[in-house]
Structure 1
Amino acid sequence: MKELVNKKIKVLMASTCLTVAVPAGHAVAQSYGEQSAKASTVDLIVVQARKRDESALEAPVVVSGVSRNVINERGLKGLTDIARVVPQLVIGDASSVSGGAISLRGITSGEQNHFNDQAVTFNFDGAVISRASVQRMALMDLEQVLVYKGPQALFFGKNAYAGVVDIQSANPTDEFEVGASLGYEFVGSEIRGEGYISGPLSDTVGARFAVYGSGLDGYFDNTAPDDPLVGPSDRDLPDHRELASRLTLTFDPSDRFDAVLKLNYQDVESAGTAAGQQLVSCPFGVSQVGGAVDGVGAPCRIDDKVERSDLGPNFKILDSDFGDVPYFEQQQFLGTLTANLEISDTLTLTSVSSIFDSYSEIMDNVNNATAAQFMVPSFQNLDVTEFSQELRLRTDFDSPVNFLLGGYYQHTDFDRVFKVAFRANAPIMLFNDSAKQKGDAYSVFAQATIDITDTLELAGGGRYSYEEKDFSIALAGVPAMTAVPKLDWDNFSPEATITWRPTANLTLFGSYKESFLSGGFNAGSGNLTLDRSFDEQTIKGWEGGVKSILLDGTLAFNVAAYTYDLDGLQILTQAGLDQFVTNAGAATVKGVEADFNWVTPIEGLSLLGAFTYNDAEYDEFVTTCYGGQTISLGCNLQPNGMGVFTAQDLSGSPLHRGPEVNFDGGFSFERSLSSRFVLGLNSNASYSSKYFADATLQPRSLQDEYWLVDAGVRLRDAENGIQIEFIGRNLGDEYYMVRAGDTIITGSGTGTSAGTLSDVNAVISRGRELWLRFSYSI
């Protein structure tokens, strides 16, 4: 079977990875260091979107990919960087212990809720992880990152509601290899180093060990005023340290059995998750909770400056978990074991086992106050353990009909402590609680593929899922009862696809898909004794596309269209200090994606481009009002017992974090200067149209359109394996926000005729990066 797949891939002789909606310069699985005018020097990306090896040309799935070489050449580290080069994928950090904000085609979930599953799942070397904390891991020594767009429930389960980010690390090599790189970034004073050693230990055992380390002084200037009580002590933020390692062992004793074990560990320390959070809009032009800066309150604008004070000595007198200086720390472990057994020439059994353990802890000021009397510090820790086991049986009959059958089990344990205080000069405790959630998920799935003719394939199947979750709480360390302590859900998600491959260089496909994301419990601030539950969300719809190779294998052109109906979206909202997930009614997401990749007649030159249009709109959506929103501004629904309105109707409005248009274009050029030296150049420009960064769609959370421009130049000594390169990222020094929200204890009069708008804060992206890097490999 493997030989047949490899033969097909070679026959395609394409110059690119052949994806639909591929960002320029990202999805090309090509070795730029080896590329010439011959298209045969460029490899195809092999995907496992259907749990089998297929070229991206063959797979009837909309997929964008980022190859190992592009990750290295563009200096991409972390999924936030990957999102910059994949249209309609939006990832940003958040001032929360749980991870960050993740959206695909405008579809997201309640990222600030510590117990919430993500609508975009991560498939890390076969382990399905729905925790946003994974996006904080450095993507070291990777083979490729693929993004499967649209629902993927059949093969990846309930968390693949909007799509899958498939992260594949490098495997051991057949021969001994060593590689290392060291880079320095001048703006943030950051140093990064990584390396690997790989090769066979015996005829049947291979090993690869990779390490990564980084230290960042900070790219934001902290302009908080000097204060004898609350500092600040750090003028450069975010101040970040990270160490990570990965051990990979392969065992291949026969033609019928092989196994891969991967063990990942990461340790992070930083100045706090709010170290990059800014006040971006204030109704009075300056902060309502700030101290004096040049005689006025802290300014409110998106730039390279933040205002972040220390917490002072008084909070730790109130509770020993608090301290003087904000911080964040995280340790994560991920282990996966994948084994394949060919029971016979026609039956292959695959087992994927994984364990994921993550501990995160933060102590930070959540409302950007620099005046002691307004400070709202929070201490949070979150301990997550997930175990999963999947078994799959695949047939390879000579008959036109084949099957894939499987079962999946996942157990999750969450343990969270949450404390919030107020006032650095005379502190009081606002919240002191803990919560636990345990979950068990079971599912079975099956797909049948029918070769109607040599060129026409029909595939159909579905996944049945059952999940239950238990929720328990304690207040100030004393166990308490919550109104709804247990819930369960069941769902059947069908999928049907028809694929026509009239030639080896052309694929047309159409699919109908459904998926769901189970509900859960809100573990944020608020009264945990009340009903803290929210329900499942579902999606169903159609997509189709054309994938092609033209001009004698030198041009790849792909286009896809989709339309999906969403129901019960899990949206994070905020009411005062309480942040919680609610179900948002119905929405429609539809659009078109296109890309091209052309290896030009000019030796060593490739041109790439991608365009996406995404129309994501709420059909029905009644949600909370934003801080200070008055009746005339639309806060005119659901009055409380005092006659104050609490909700607004956003039906017909766009989904937040869903830019309507994305564009990406660029080039890659490489030419030998001599028999020894090779010069490489690359540049890309990406565009995002405007989007709202807050679920309430408050106008001041609107992120304007922006461009990001990257470029790089490198010189390689092919004889000695040495390379020096200069990488410029975000050369236009653009700052943008992914998630925004009301600043706590600002604003007033929400739902009345005369209100005062709250300040708005957001975690801001990194600005310009200028890297000098040295690499060595043998």
Structure 2
Amino acid sequence: MSSYGKTARAGRTFGLLVAASTFAIAGGTAHAQNAGPVFTDTTSEAAEVPPASGGLQEIVVTARKRVESAQDVPVSVTAISAQEINDRDLTSLENVAAATPQLAIGRNATGSGAQLTLRGIGSNSLSIGTEQSIAVIVDGVYYGQGRTINEGFFDLGGIEILKGPQSLFFGKNATAGVISISTADPTDHFTASSKTSYEFNAGKLREEVILSGPIGDTLGFRLAGRVGKDFGYLFDNRAGSINYVTTDRPSTTQTNATTNHLATAPADNGPREREILLRGTLEWEASDRLTARLTANYGYNRTSGTWNYAVFACEGGFSHLSPGVPCERDFSLYANNMPADIAAQTRFARDDGKNFNKYSSWGMTGTIDYDFDDLMLTSVTNYQWNRNIWSLDLDYQSASSPSLNIWGSENSKYDAFSEELRLLSQFDGPLNFLLGGYYQTSNRGFEQNVLFAGFENSAAPDGFRYVAYAKDSSTKGKTVSGYGQLIWEIVPETLEATGGVRYIHETKDSFFVQPYAHPLVNGTRYAVNQPLTADQTFDNWSPEATLTWTPTTNITLYGAYKTAYKSGGFSNSSIQSPVTPLEFFLFEPEKAKGFEVGLKTDLLDRQLRFNVTAYNYEFTNLQVTYLDSAALSYNSVNAGSARTKGVEVEFAYAPNAIAGFQINGSANYNRSRYGDAISPCYGGQSLDNGCIPNLLSPGTPGQNLEGLPTSDAPDWTGSLGARYETPLGDAMRFGLSFDGRYSSDYLTSSFGSPLSRQGSYVTLDAGVKVGAENDAWEIALLGKNLTNHFIVTGVTDGSGTGSGTGTNAAISADQVGFVAMPRTVTVQVTLRIP
């Protein structure tokens, strides 16, 4: 479909949503008067429950696959209610991370799409073959890969951030924690809302429409849609047009004419986001025992590609690909479009050569609950599919020499089917249990082209004329898992012991081939049409035990031993030379084990909440990915061990004497350090800085990271926020809020590069709103990162930079940071039929 057709389709969808909202708001009141109550939202994760007394609300979570109060559950969990999500516009994982100390998300256009890090533990995003160490769960379903950040997280029932290993209840790939998201349920009466927002700096216009209510006596529905478009930009592209020269060489001995190609640069850059998000939910209360829920979603997201990449730190202060260009910590980048005549003959590139990243997805989740009185049986079935296509400038610096210019294009697909069954007992006696089984199949496909050094071959197959080399790879996975937990109430309502274990059996069948390389490097630097296959099998037992003491209804103390497992795999993004062994593509599972203790309290007649958690976890076979800048290859390896230990303190205070006022905050100390961890050197690491020749293998230098901090691991983080809401007369209300976040400095490199250091910072979010007392309308002004701090949340070595690694003539690689959002200010108008 042409870009015009896609834009027109997005425009029509936007118009339909606006029209639907207008109709609903104008004409829905009569409908609402005849609606009978059917459904409520009380089973949603992180749902709010009105307080029995005092000023603080109770929040319900499902951190242990059953409904519990967040203050009673023996888990370190940050629960965000639907109201807070709406008030703070936490409708993306990146916004959630920016508001949550110790959680960091770095968006990456290439590789797996994002790096998710919690308490200093996370897998960098450079390879598509690695899973994340934080499992993202949506409506009880695991969503793999970092590209989950492109999904449409709006109209939510709640968010739970579970910290530390979580394999027992959530399975594989939860060594660092879990982000569990629940979408909103149908309501027990007809409701409708329209939320229109405009962000001034990016010129982002967004419209969100929700319709919800009953259909008859037993069936409820909810329809939600959001469309958005950026008319401005947040990052400046400072590149100028460059001349890229190619030389046609159909063979190693034949040289034809050289050709000049113009690589233009857009006058501005990203995100330039366009999005279309749709979700429909049906909930059927067939009887007092049987409830079924079906959710279907579609998402489309397109951005301008490497919009958040900044070359922010370079040895000597200037770019090594563009001498004289300073490496600065500001919201700017240097990116050139692929020459249009080259793009027209390159797989997956746009005909006009513009940089872009396009993500599309759809999925369906069906949940069935059957209550046998003493037993609750739950079934969760899901199918999900996504596709991501990009074409990007991969040298990131508008290189001054045509021989240093690098572009790439990629097409990747992922789909998965899963089924989970679990049985929870509800006996009156002291013993209860949870039993569950899980099955998943997945398929990942990956095709990539890389263009550099002026390569051209007029005799190449279609799509490869200007390609230096190409990669095709796939992985088919299958997971079978069973888990169980025994719950023993030793002293009724006072002392509880639980113990459980999950068994995971996983297979991965992978394929890799380089279908093409330019004649000058075919057979010398790259192996062509020499397929590699790998059949991997992994087995794991992850036990867990917890002791919980509740001396009073307002105090909970617990201690827990936890373990977790993260899948091993295959480096789909690597490079095959004529002598590369199969083992180079394989990496082993990552594991975690350790302890935590916690105290949770509600004091002063539920006016004051004070919680403390202390933890100590060891991680082994940490999975990290590094860039071999000479081969332009992203290689995943097991780096060794790391340990995180720390203390987290959080409080909330809502005095009865000041209705509508609440203050909350946290202070966190986290020490995350490598143990005995042998890893590759960072690009341009010298002997004096710890790079040891031949450490990894003959001819391959390495380093011992022992004692160095892991990536995105500040020692100190904290937050402080306050909100106040008060009536304005009898018909209106007014609200103010602010939320500050502090982070000490940290390294963003997984390999200890000192250039990657992010300095300490304080960010500030604030909001003001006015609306009707009955929620019929509201106008809000929301500001994020008002201090406009430049914050790097992930990093890679600049392609083609870093030389002399393992010598004392080394020059450190330029650091390309994945940068968090600069200052944004949004006005938001909401109309509702409550």
TM-score, length of structure 1 as denominator length: 0.92
Residue 473 of structure 2 corresponds to 435
Which residue does the alignment assign to 1:571? 624
Cross-structure match for 2:252: none
Is residue 235 from structure 1 mapped to residue 291 from structure 2 by the alignment? no
CA distance in 2, matches of 1:474, 1:696: 29
Q: Which residue of the partner structure matches residue 507 of structure 2?
A: 468
**What is the match of residue 119 of structure 1?**
133
- For 1:264, which of 284, 291, 297 is the aligned residue? 297
- Alignment match, 1:219: 234
Aligned to 1:287: 319
Q: 1:102 aligns with which of 81, 91, 116?
A: 116
CA apart distance, 1:214? 1.3
1:332 aligns with 2:361: yes
2: CA distance, partners of 1:109 / 1:757: 22
The Cα shift of 1:558 comes to 0.6
Distance 1:582 1:70, change over 3 A: same
Match of 2:690 in 1: 634
Residue pairs, 1:200-599, within 5 angstroms = 200-216=214-230, 217-227=232-242, 229-272=262-305, 274-290=306-322, 297-316=324-343, 319-323=346-350, 324-342=353-371, 344-371=372-399, 372-423=402-453, 429-454=467-492, 455-476=494-515, 480-482=530-532, 485-527=534-576, 530-531=581-582, 532-576=585-629, 577-599=632-654
1:619 aligns with 2:670: no
Q: Is the 8 A contact 2:47 2:60 kept in 1?
A: no
Structure 2 distance, partners of 1:111, 1:610, is: 28
1:674/1:317 CA distance change after superposition, 3 Å: closer
Q: Which moved more, 1:427-436 or 1:328-337?
A: 427-436
| Native 8 Å contact 1:314 1:425 kept in 2 | no
Give distance in 2, aligned partners of 1:349 and 1:543.
Answer: 30
The answer on whether the counterparts of 2:777 and 2:832 sit within 8 Å (CA) in structure 1 is yes
Superposed CA deviations along residues 242-272 of structure 1, whole A, max 9, x for unmatched, are 1101101001011110011111110011111
| Counterpart secondary structure, 1:72 | helix
Report the secondary structure of 1:735's partner residue: coil
1:56 equivalent to 2:70? Answer yes
Aligned partner of 1:647 in structure 2 is 702
Distance 1:716 1:263 in 2: 32
Query: Does the Cα contact within 8 Å between 2:711 and 2:748 map onto a contact in 1?
Result: yes
| Distance in 2 (alpha carbons) for counterparts of 1:521 and 1:766 | 32
Structure 1 residues 320 and 113: CA distance shift in structure 2, 3 A: closer
Q: How far apart are 1:443 and its partner, in Å?
A: 0.8
CA offset digits 1:644-666 (Å, max 9, x no partner): 66211111111111121110001
* Rounded Cα–Cα distance in structure 2 between residues aligned with 1:95 and 1:340: 39
- CA gap of 1:758–1:289, structure 2 versus 1, over 3 A, is same
The answer for unaligned runs of 5 or more in structure 2 is 1-39, 244-261, 457-464, 517-527
Asked whether the equivalents of residues 574 and 624 of structure 1 are also in contact (C-alpha less than 8 Å), the reply is: no
Cα offsets for 1:539-582 (capped at 9, x unmatched):
11111101111011111111111111111111112222221111
* Residues 643-652 or 431-440, more deviating: 643-652
Q: Contact 2:542–2:563 at 8 Å: present in 1 too? A: yes
C-alpha distance in 1 between matches for 2:367 and 2:55:
30
- On the 8 A contact 2:558/2:599 being kept in 1, the answer is yes
Check conservation: 2:514, 2:576, Cα contact below 8 A. no
Distance (Å, rounded) in 1 between the aligned partners of 2:546 and 2:795: 39
**Other structure's SS at 2:109 match:** coil
8 A contact 1:120–1:130 mirrored in 2? no
**Secondary structure, in 3 states, of the residue corresponding to 2:263?**
coil
- Find the partner of 2:188 among 174, 183, 187: 174
Which residues of 2 match residues 597-616 of structure 1 at below 5 A?
597-600=652-655, 601-616=657-672
Verify the 8 A CA contact 1:97 1:362 in the aligned structure 2. no
1:600-619 deviation line (CA, Å, top 9, x unaligned): 22222111011111111111
C-alpha contact 2:47 2:158 (8 A) present in aligned 1: no
- Range 307-316 or range 382-391, more displaced: 307-316
State the 1:119 CA deviation.
1.0
| Equivalent residues in 2 for 1:18-57, closer than 5 Å | 29=48, 42-57=56-71
Q: Which residue number in structure 2 is paired with residue 751 of structure 1?
A: 806
SS at match of 2:157: strand
Please say if residues 406 and 453 of structure 2, whose CA atoms lie closer than 8 Å, have aligned partners that are also in contact.
yes
> 2: distance between equivalents of 1:42 and 1:209?
31
Structure 1 position 765, deviation (Å) = 1.4
Report the counterpart of residue 3 of structure 1 in structure 2: none
Please state how far the C-alpha of 1:302 moved relative to its aligned partner.
1.6
Q: Would the alpha carbon gap of residues 518 and 719 (structure 1) be closer, same or farther in structure 2, given more than 3 Å must change?
A: closer
Q: By how many angstroms is 1:43 displaced? A: 3.4
Residues in 2 aligned to 1:480 and 1:335: alpha-carbon distance in whole angstroms: 38
Post-superposition offset of 1:700: 0.6
Alpha-carbon spacing, 1:368–1:686, altered in 2? closer, same or farther (3 Å): same
Offset of residue 717 of structure 1: 2.0
- Corresponding residue number in structure 2 for 1:24: none
1:491 Cα deviation (Å)? 0.8
Question: Is contact 2:61-2:79 (8 Å) kept?
Answer: no
Aligned 8 A contact 2:127 2:634 in 1:
yes
Match of 2:756 in 1: 701
1:59-78 → structure 2 map (5 Å cutoff): 59-78=73-92
State yes or no: 1:764 paired with 2:819: yes
Larger mean CA deviation between 595-604 and 205-214 belongs to: 595-604
Q: CA deviation at 1:97?
A: 5.1
Matching residue's letter, 2:611: N
**Is the 2:424–2:433 Cα contact (8 Å) retained in structure 1?**
yes
Separation (CA, whole Å) in 2 of partners of 1:305 and 1:481: 41
CA–CA distance in structure 2, aligned partners of residues 655 and 639 of structure 1: 20
RMSD of aligned residue pairs (Cα, Å): 2.3
State the match for 1:145 in structure 2. Answer: 159
SS where residue 227 of structure 2 aligns?
strand
Cα distance in structure 1, aligned partners of 2:633 and 2:331 = 29
Distance (whole Å) between structure 1 residues aligned to residue 345 and residue 757 of structure 2? 38
- Distance in 2, matches of 1:134 and 1:470, equals 23
Give TM-score scaled by structure 2 length. 0.86
Is the 8 Å Cα contact of residues 221 and 235 (structure 1) preserved in structure 2?
Answer: yes
One-letter code of the match for 2:441? H
Q: The residue matched to 2:665 in structure 1 has which SS?
A: strand
Q: Compared with structure 1, are the counterparts of its residues 207 and 424 closer, same or farther at alpha carbon in structure 2 (3 Å cutoff)? A: farther
Tell me if structure 2 keeps the 8 A contact 1:379–1:418.
yes
Structure 1's 40 and 245: CA in aligned 2 closer, same or farther, altered over 3 A? farther
**For residues 269 and 126 of structure 1, what CA distance do their matches in structure 2 show?**
27
Query: Aligned partner of 1:376: which letter?
Result: I
Partner of 1:22: none
Alignment partner of 1:494: what SS? strand
Residue identity matched to 1:443 = S
Does the CA contact (< 8 Å) of 1:431 and 1:525 recur in 2? Answer: no
Between the aligned partners of 1:700 and 1:352, the Cα distance in structure 2 is: 46
Amino acid at match of 2:369: N
* DSSP 3-state at the match of 2:467: strand
- Report the 3-state secondary structure (helix = DSSP H, G, I; strand = E; otherwise coil) of the residue aligned with 1:429: coil
Distance 1:459 1:640 in 2: 43
Spell out the pairing of 1:80-95 with structure 2 (5 A cutoff): 80-95=94-109
| Partner SS for 1:753 | coil
Judging changes above 3 Å, is the alpha-carbon distance between structure 1 residues 269 and 748 closer, same or farther for their aligned structure 2 residues? same
User: Once the 2 structures are TM-superposed, how far is the Cα of residue 671 of structure 1 from its aligned partner?
Assistant: 0.8
Alpha-carbon distance between aligned partners in 2 of 1:281 and 1:609, rounded to the nearest angstrom: 33
Matched, 1:659 2:714: yes
